[in-house]
Amino acid sequence: MIFSRNRFLHLLLASIKLYVREPAATFFTLIFPALLLTVSGYSFGREVAFITAAGLEMRILDLMLPATVAWVMANQGLMGLYPSLAMMRETGILKYYRVHPIRPVHLFLAEYISGLLMLTVSLSVLLMVDEILFGLRYDGQAWLILANILVAYTAFFALGFALAGLTPTARLAQALGSLLFFPMMFLSGAFGPRETLPPFLKFLSDLSSLTHATDLLTDSWVSGPISLSEAFAHSLHSFSGTPFLGRVWFAEVTVAQSWAYLLMVALVSSLVTLRAFLWDEESRRRRKDLPATAPPACKEAVLCVHDLHKTYGTVRAVDGVSFEVRKGEIFGLLGPNGAGKTTTLEIVEGLRAADQGQIRLLGHNPLTEQNSLLQRVGIQLQEANLPSRLKVREIFALFAAFYERTLPAEHLLEMLDLREQANRFFGKLSGGQKQRVFAALALLNDPEVIFLDEITTGLDAHIRRSIWGFLRELRRQGKTIVLTTHYLEEAQALCDRVIMLNRGQIVAQGIPEELIEHLGMGFRLEVEVGDHKTISPETIQALPEISRWTQDNGTLTLYLRAVEDTERVLAALRSHGIPYRSLKVQSANLEDVFLVLTETQTQPEA
């Protein structure tokens, strides 16, 4: 099975809720078609258009109803689904789905069925309005009408999905959707007979999916009793031949040919969709180039990374990174912006393909065996998003449905102080509250390994400390945590071991306290020099017991191995005639190591 019934129902329910809660979608699917039919019926719609073979007088209104259904389907695909999916790609919603067991086919089927259900509601409303106000008339086969609706809907749905996969921004998708939909309406005969169009526009009209959908529905609405073979051989009424480029095109188009055309549109669009909505950001062909063997001398660790490389043009985002993470430890990736932390983490998570290197996560290759890992790992991305019109509690229920084992949602809401926001829409949350939702979702499946990319960014001190305590408790339970953070005191307080990255390379790795001791940075002495005087490097280097130093805007920072060296340093400053106004002595920390190791490597190249 593609997924269980429970998973399907949760995803389908979420899609329906998003559809109904979108004002424009509800208006153009349900309200506007009913208003259009009502206004037309009371103005010109009750005029008799023709009489069927059975002697039934068919009004203009009776032909407008199936045509309106065709317009609703086109609107769903081009004005609804198309920009909606483009927005989900642009804002990172689809990227976030990738770190959970939600695959493109899940989204495809849920969107398909939810749209079909809303179309069914729209058709029911139109039939009810027509019956109550004007007396419903039709002389067709219900099975043929429904079959034509299904074929046409499938074509517009697949077209909208494919276009969303090819359009980079939601704003562009909205513009292109309008540029496609309204000309289609004009060319399909919505504002007058197609026979009055110039040859070139008539030719484009013959190729329009909306023209085929409108003809299929209006013809089947008045076809009378008809067999399947007769239905397929029936010629659509508005295809009477178009002289163009020296020949006559579309002199006759049967229902079977129109079905074949629409299904071809659906098939081609589906192939484009499959390629455009592959979860991988990188080419899948690169997977074949990665070694299948485990990294050397790294068989027992939870995570093994060996000689990892990733370039973007001339930029080496990751350059020969190797490390291992042991079971039950908190491991930190540190470094300045652009150092390669997030790229390294996303390669390890299976979201990106490396140019070179070997990775094993819980014994699996995360790029080629991601489905085997998603039930066992939890991932919180640095940048992600979720549908704004889903409530927090609904989001938890949706993602929980895709896991075999989950922690109680109420426990996570309580731990991350989200109980008051449980029934609020995600789009109404503050930045810090959204960050806490993502943190909770990373822990939802009770994972063995947890990846946290800047988990406490934007959170206040109280919530940060609460998360620290929760992470320590997870470590006591045997969980393995890999995190990146800009807060160096957080890394020192939490991490058993760290690596420091700069320009894609590891500049230091080990236990934080050992890194501080190894660099001879036991204590930091900050001296505010009188009159903000600048001291020459030669004078500073002549001071006793100094392992490293920095000088900035009148403040001299000296690193000492032992606090007892402070008096000798101050005496040397006085002997050199250097006045000072204030002193501050404190233990060196991981931030000092970080600044020293990255400072020289981030200097501009000559």
Same domain, 191 and 321: no
461 and 540 together in one domain: no
Q: Judge whether 195 lies within some domain.
A: yes
pLDDT on residue 285: 43
More confident: 401 or 567 = 401
* 573: confidence class by pLDDT, cuts 50, 70, 90: confident
CA 29, CA 232: separation in Å to the nearest integer?
Answer: 29
Domain boundary among 451, 479, 513: 513
Residues 132-145: tens digit of each pLDDT: 999 999 888 999 99
pLDDT (0 to 100) of residue 77: 95
Residues 95 and 226 in one domain: yes
326 against 602, higher pLDDT: 326
309 lies in the same domain as 396: yes
281 located within any domain = no
Torsion sign (Cα): 452, 457, 458, 462: positive
Indicate if the pLDDT at residue 464 is higher than 90: no
Query: Does 599 map to a domain?
Result: no
- What is the share, in percent, of the chain residues with pLDDT greater than 70? 93
pLDDT at 319: 94
Domain contains 606: no
In-domain check, residue 56: yes
Cα 574 to Cα 118: distance, rounded to the nearest angstrom: 83
Across 224-267, where does the E strand assignment appear? 242-244, 247-249
Asked whether the predicted pLDDT for residue 51 surpasses 70, the reply is yes
Q: What is the dihedral of CA 152, 112, 38, 62, to 10 degrees?
A: 30
pLDDT at 519: 67
pTM of the model: 0.83
Q: What is the mean pLDDT of residues 214-240?
A: 92
Q: Let me know whether 431 and 543 are in one domain.
A: no
- Return the higher-pLDDT residue of 318 and 588: 318
Higher local confidence (pLDDT), 154 or 523: 154
Q: Which is more confidently placed, 2 or 524?
A: 524
Asked which of 482, 513, 544 is the last residue of a domain, the reply is 513
Per residue in 511-531, pLDDT (tens digit) is 988 887 776 667 778 888 766
Top-confidence residue, 425 or 353: 425
Task: Report pLDDT for 515.
Answer: 82
User: Going edge to edge, which strands form the sheet with 303-312?
Assistant: 315-325, 303-312, 356-361
As a whole number, the mean pLDDT across the chain is 87
Span 277-322, pLDDT tens digits: 765 444 444 444 455 455 655 667 999 999 999 999 889 999 999 9
Higher pLDDT, residue 368 or 294: 368
Q: How many domains does the chain have?
A: 3
pLDDT for 550 beyond 90: no
Residue 379, domain extent? 294-513
Is residue 600 situated within a structural domain? no
Q: What is the CATH number of the domain that holds 547?
A: 3.30.70.100
Three-state secondary-structure class, residue 357: strand
Q: Say yes or no to pLDDT of 498 above 60.
A: yes
Q: Is residue 3 part of a domain?
A: no
Least confident range of 89-93, 236-240, 495-499, 542-546: 542-546
Q: How confident is the model at residue 206 (pLDDT cuts 50, 70, 90)?
A: very high
Domain contains 596? no
Are 298 and 189 found together in one domain?
no
Q: pLDDT at position 569, please?
A: 80
Rounded alpha-carbon distances, angstroms, from residue 596 to 25, 424, 447, 498, 547? 56, 45, 36, 16, 11
Largest CA distance in the chain: 118
Q: Which of 33-42, 51-60, 71-80 has the lowest mean pLDDT?
A: 51-60
Same domain for 64 and 197, yes or no, is: yes
Please determine, for residue 556, whether its predicted confidence score (pLDDT) is greater than 50. Answer: yes
Q: Which pLDDT score, from 0 to 100, does residue 533 have?
A: 65
Least confident of 59-63, 151-155, 206-210, 367-371: 367-371
Q: Is the confidence at residue 220, as pLDDT, over 60?
A: yes
- How far is CA 52 from its chain centroid? 52
What is the model's pLDDT at position 147? 96
Residues 182 and 249 in one domain: yes
Assign residue 309 the CATH number of its domain. Answer: 3.40.50.300
The yes-or-no verdict on residue 241 having pLDDT over 60 is yes
Res 279: pLDDT: 52
Tell me what the mean pLDDT of segment 120-128 comes to.
Answer: 96
Q: Are residues 224 and 339 in the same domain?
A: no
Helices H / strands E in the chain, number of each: 24, 17
Residues 179, 90 share a domain = yes
Q: pLDDT tier at 424 (50, 70, 90 boundaries)?
A: very high
pLDDT at 441: 94
Please give the Cα distance from 602 to 154 (Å, whole number): 55
Shared domain for 528 and 494, answered yes or no, is no
Q: What is the mean pLDDT of residues 247-265?
A: 95
130 in the same domain as 38: yes
Task: Say if residue 437's pLDDT is above 60.
Answer: yes
pLDDT at 82: 94
For residue 34, pLDDT beyond 90: yes
